[in-house]
Structure 1
Amino acid sequence: MLSRRLAWLRYLPGLTKDFAQAQCLREYCDKPEASEQDGKREVRQRQEATLQGDYTLHYNPPSYHNSKWDSVASQGHTDNDEDEQCLSILAPSFRQQSNCYTVSSSRRLSNSKNTLLEIALNNVSEPETASLPQSHREPVPPDVKVDTRAFQKCRPEYASVTLDLTQRPPPIQWDQALLLLHKVTILKGNMQPSDVVHFLKELSRLHPENTPLVRSDTRFVMLLRYSVENLHHFTQCQLLDVLRSFVWLDLPSSHSILGLYEAELSRRASQMTFPQLLLVADLWRCIGRQVPQFLEHLYGSVSSCIGLMSISELVQLLYIMGEGRQCPADLVRPVEQLLMHHVHKLEPEEVGTVCLALFKSQTSISEGAVNQITDKAHSVVEKMSDFAMVNVLKLLRFSHLDHRAWLEAMAQEVPHRAHKMGVQGLMHVALACSALHYRNDCILMPVAERLPSLVSHCRSKDSCKLLWAFGTLGVLPSQIPGFYPSLIDSLRQKKSAFQRYPEHLLTGLLGLVFVSQFPEDLITLALSPEFIRVALKSPQLELKKDLFTLDETVALELPHWTGPRLVSELREEVAEMLWKYAQSDVCQKPEVVQAECALKDLLGGDQFVRKRMILPHTRSIDLEVHLDSTGQPVPVSNRNHHCYHSEQLLGLHAMKRRQLRLAGYRVVELSHWEWFPLLRKSRTEKLAYLHCKLSSSLE
């Protein structure tokens, strides 16, 4: 009978795996040991063990991590851990021009998700934790909780398109749950769709501490089996009730029956209104499951109702797009236009959600639209939560757009907020400043002072990206005495994580060498043959250039170094790759071409000027001039070599000048604020400027 009832599932695309596991569920439930008496005995034994103080360990996810419905309302990984996918994207540059030779603090990663382990239906642990070896886990509790869904409290209209995770159903007692499970074994095959919905709704009212006991009960597994059998008999309202129940029951997002529910809801999508589609998408978000098949139907319905969409529906749609990490290309312009129509009406938390959604979904909107959103944020910045404020910085970082008024406001806001912000919020503040080349000590010093007390909460990537940000902006150890030592110690404690995430260690070490910090034990690890093999193994990560930069820096600045080095073949390969790219791009820029031509005219011919990369690991070109027996280079490739509106060089380029002097060169700067205006001037004026520069360097 079950085979006949489930035969229709065989024809649904992409569900072969889920169907097979549903069949396994049937076999599991039909075994003699899954009887009612055994189920009661199992529950009784667990309760007795608890009462007697036994140290029997039962599967209880909430004891070790936030449940999904709770983590969405706090600082869980599902809503807030987006850097690996978003930070590496280079958006079209606006006022800040992109710099091809700037080291990125996060390399290009694959957008594909890790495959979730689909194991026994009544014992599925969190996929990201279960799939990692013990040595690779970093079970760090959140230091400061934030409500990532606070925007849904801004308007009563959100109630129709979202699930309020702060309003659990009225609770029931454990003995009531046992009675419900007993009724499941009595009804069995006579269960109607309404019965299934009733049982799931009632069981979902249990206290979160007891839901793991219910999920592992064989009678609950039997109830799930009957829910699958009745799947195509449920009304739409019943389907939504079941999905809500799964949220409150904290059903693991990798549970195989959820694939069947996604397929059924996708099949019915054409019958749903747009608010219903948004609600279903939100329920999947609360469960923590990626549902690309259903989201395709949601996005496909947008164009037909874009003109009727309310503010709450638009913001919720953007939120869903952000959590799904995608905005279809054909929706970017319509959504942008509607957003601009409503932007002046957005509440402070809604502004933060819009910014985060655009950042997570890697959606490049126009410069004017980013400016209008940031203008709105600036007008309400004092009312924004720390979380919303940080999200605005994420959008500016992604867009490479400097918004002067907002950045100046950060110099006022961050000092009095930093003492209560968490690690990730502080990290994103620092990363935004480094991405925009914006050094403002009113922002950076409070962040640096707060972090040593939070270092136990830092993941490996938090520590490394913070070191990168401060090193890039040239904040010296003497200015923030406790900052660098505490984060270096943090890296030492998390060495095992770098076998899985080698890019993080290189990010942190490059930030350190920018400010002349050389933790030799960590450098030895990064240049060891084993680590290099791991770093070069992944085709999605391009780490050769970072390894080359670190290796050559060690050779120049640590003359006593006897530790490992890159093999010469790899060094030559990367140097050639960088030079070829420079010839095709940087060498063709007007500022470089005109400087080279003017120097040749000034000095009397091609033989006196040599264009090359003296230090290829610093990723920029030089014009080397031979005036006498000691060559004196004239480095030119860029306004992006300096901090925003400042004469201070960024970390990589400050390191280059330091190393050129170590190599015996005398550096003559053609600063962009002097040379760029001369590009429009006469040849005589350019020659006079260059002559003055060279002459003064000999004095």
Structure 2
Amino acid sequence: VSATKPLMEAKLSSEFCTLTIGELGSVCQSYFKCQQRIELKELLHQLANVLVQSLPRVDSFVVCAIVKQLRYSASAKEAVPWKIVLGACEPHISRWDAPTAIQLVMLATHVKSYHPRLLDAVARHLITKLNAIRLKEVAKLLLTLTMFSHEIENESQFYDTIKSDLRSPSRKREIEMYHQSFVTCVWCLAMAGMYSADLIAAALSEDMVRNSVKHQDISYHATALQYSVRIESPTYDGPFLGQQVLDSLYSTRHLTTRCPDWTMQDLSLQEKIILQTLDCLQTKYGSAPVIRQLLPHFHYPDIVFGVQIANTDITLLQLELCSEDGVLVPQSSSGAVPCAVVVHGLGAFSEGSQHLMGLAKVKVRQLRTLGFRVVELSHFELSCMSSNFYIQDKLLAACTTSLPKL
């Protein structure tokens, strides 16, 4: 297949105008079933363009097939064609079935392209037929809303409907079969600040989680849910996952964390940005700032220190930390204001914008809940760090203003 694929894609591209939109949908469906990406960019652009031009008359099957293959083949680095597709599809959402609507939000998620009106339209369309939608599609919708930290219309009513659906006896068998999707749903509700004890207890059932560890998402979502409950819902008195189950989850690729330093050979771009920020802080304030993995359910660590302020003079001190259920929290006896610098890299923003993604917002919220004053620094602010007063003003603002309501 690999030898003939370039020839086949070139032939499809050259004969593109002779094919109907329905035939193109069938081609995309075949590619997807064979788990083959379309490598020829010109062909992908042709598919995107013909889909947009055909939207007034195209049906769910064709839209779903083409969008699914675009998602499978598309690169987030080249987001413009996919943004055009997503924007053009938004007015037609109500005509299509649930799988098609879900494929559209999954394409948005894949290329990290934030379309508020599209998300509103999909949520509005699917909430009216929730009992006919598969659990994994509910999970994918919630995951997209969480990823973009999107505040939907009638948010309270929307999430109440979701929670009622998850509690419905009609979902019981599906939850048993696809527990990883249920865990994802409950984790997404937690990320939105909604902690329901009965749903959490069901999601953190050890027997169910053990049977789901081979599924791609269960490791991160189950572990992140457990830590998030301990941080943000201290009154919860239901079951938690035992250490043996947690250890089995940590063995997967979703929870590989480390505190970087310049001696490492395989530093990611985000790790380099964190280290550059640390260098700037240590140059100005000494060796007190250090990198620590405060929250084990987030991939990248943060920079921590204590702050003492006299008038406008700032002194940074080493911060004493202690572990509580695997989370590092500041020691109240240190005498300094506990501070954490969260560095938002390129991955913390939606493509081509400064819209901060959901996980980055949740991280800041949870650190504040633990008692840290949080300084948020974006990757594009790194050049400002050399200014004498830039970071000083940030520290003063974080440590002297009232904490925002959580």
Is the TM value for this pair above 0.5? yes
More strand as a share of residues = 2
Aligned equivalent of 2:226 = 551
Q: Identity over the aligned pairs, expressed in percent?
A: 23
8 Å contact from structure 1 (residues 556, 663) kept in 2? yes
Are 1:619 and 2:299 counterparts?
yes
Partners of 1:471 and 1:362 in 2: CA distance: 27
Partners of 2:140 and 2:85 in 1: CA distance: 23
RMSD: 3.0
Aligned equivalent of 2:86 = 410
Residue 603 of structure 1 is aligned with which of 279, 285, 297? 285
Structure 1 residue runs without a partner (length 5+): 1-327
Aligned equivalent of 1:693 = 394
Residue 466 of structure 1 is aligned with which of 131, 138, 141? 141
Deviates more, 1:351-360 or 1:448-457: 351-360
**How far 1:550 moved relative to its partner?**
0.6
Aligned equivalent of 1:397 = 71
8 Å contact from structure 2 (residues 294, 302) kept in 1? yes
8 Å contact from structure 2 (residues 52, 88) kept in 1? no
Residue 594 of structure 1 is aligned with which of 276, 298, 315? 276
Aligned equivalent of 1:666 = 373
Structure 2 residue runs without a partner (length 5+): 261-265, 309-335, 401-406
Identify if the C-alpha distance between structure 1 residues 573 and 406 changes in structure 2 by more than 3 Å, giving closer, same or farther.
closer
Identify if the C-alpha distance between structure 1 residues 610 and 693 changes in structure 2 by more than 3 Å, giving closer, same or farther.
same
Are 1:375 and 2:49 counterparts?
yes
Are 1:384 and 2:58 counterparts?
yes
Looking at both structures, which has the greater relative contact order when contacts are Cα pairs under 8 Å and sequence separation is at least 6?
1
Letter in 2 for 1:697: A
Letter in 2 for 1:662: T
Are 1:654 and 2:361 counterparts?
yes
Residue 4 of structure 2 is aligned with which of 317, 327, 331? 331
Identify if the C-alpha distance between structure 1 residues 431 and 485 changes in structure 2 by more than 3 Å, giving closer, same or farther.
farther
**Secondary structure, in 3 states, of the residue corresponding to 1:615?**
coil
Q: What are the equivalent positions in structure 2 for 1:120-519 lying under 5 Å apart?
A: 328-366=1-39, 368-369=41-42, 370-398=44-72, 399-401=74-76, 403-415=79-91, 417-476=92-151, 479-493=154-168, 494-519=171-196
8 Å contact from structure 1 (residues 586, 592) kept in 2? no
Larger Rg, first or second structure (1 or 2) = 1
Partners of 1:694 and 1:562 in 2: CA distance: 37
Identify if the C-alpha distance between structure 1 residues 442 and 598 changes in structure 2 by more than 3 Å, giving closer, same or farther.
same
TM-score, normalised to structure 1, is 0.47
**Secondary structure, in 3 states, of the residue corresponding to 1:617?**
coil
Deviation per CA, 1:500-540: give whole Å up to 9, x if none.
2221112212222221122321211111222233223x4x6
**How far 1:344 moved relative to its partner?**
4.5
Partners of 2:141 and 2:104 in 1: CA distance: 10
Identify if the C-alpha distance between structure 1 residues 465 and 425 changes in structure 2 by more than 3 Å, giving closer, same or farther.
same
Identify if the C-alpha distance between structure 1 residues 351 and 649 changes in structure 2 by more than 3 Å, giving closer, same or farther.
same
Letter in 2 for 1:411: G
Deviation per CA, 1:623-681: give whole Å up to 9, x if none.
22333312211111622222334433322222111111100111111123433xx3xx9
Deviates more, 1:649-658 or 1:394-403: 394-403
Are 1:528 and 2:233 counterparts?
no
Deviation per CA, 1:436-469: give whole Å up to 9, x if none.
3333222122222222321221122122222222
Partners of 2:192 and 2:367 in 1: CA distance: 15
**Secondary structure, in 3 states, of the residue corresponding to 1:667?**
strand
After TM superposition, what 4+ stretches of structure 1 lie above 6 angstroms from structure 2? Answer: none
Identify if the C-alpha distance between structure 1 residues 585 and 331 changes in structure 2 by more than 3 Å, giving closer, same or farther.
farther
**Secondary structure, in 3 states, of the residue corresponding to 2:239?**
coil
Partners of 1:368 and 1:553 in 2: CA distance: 41
Aligned equivalent of 1:210 = none
Partners of 1:559 and 1:459 in 2: CA distance: 32
Letter in 1 for 2:277: A
8 Å contact from structure 1 (residues 618, 653) kept in 2? no
Identify if the C-alpha distance between structure 1 residues 497 and 409 changes in structure 2 by more than 3 Å, giving closer, same or farther.
closer
**How far 1:587 moved relative to its partner?**
7.7
Residue 345 of structure 2 is aligned with which of 626, 638, 641? 638
**How far 1:688 moved relative to its partner?**
5.9
Partners of 2:267 and 2:198 in 1: CA distance: 37
Letter in 1 for 2:172: K
Identify if the C-alpha distance between structure 1 residues 517 and 586 changes in structure 2 by more than 3 Å, giving closer, same or farther.
farther
Identify if the C-alpha distance between structure 1 residues 565 and 348 changes in structure 2 by more than 3 Å, giving closer, same or farther.
same
**Secondary structure, in 3 states, of the residue corresponding to 1:329?**
coil
Number of matched residues? 361
Identify if the C-alpha distance between structure 1 residues 575 and 530 changes in structure 2 by more than 3 Å, giving closer, same or farther.
closer
8 Å contact from structure 2 (residues 226, 241) kept in 1? yes
**Secondary structure, in 3 states, of the residue corresponding to 1:476?**
coil
Deviation per CA, 1:184-229: give whole Å up to 9, x if none.
xxxxxxxxxxxxxxxxxxxxxxxxxxxxxxxxxxxxxxxxxxxxxx
**Secondary structure, in 3 states, of the residue corresponding to 1:616?**
coil
**How far 1:548 moved relative to its partner?**
0.9
Letter in 2 for 1:531: M
Letter in 1 for 2:210: R
Letter in 2 for 1:609: P
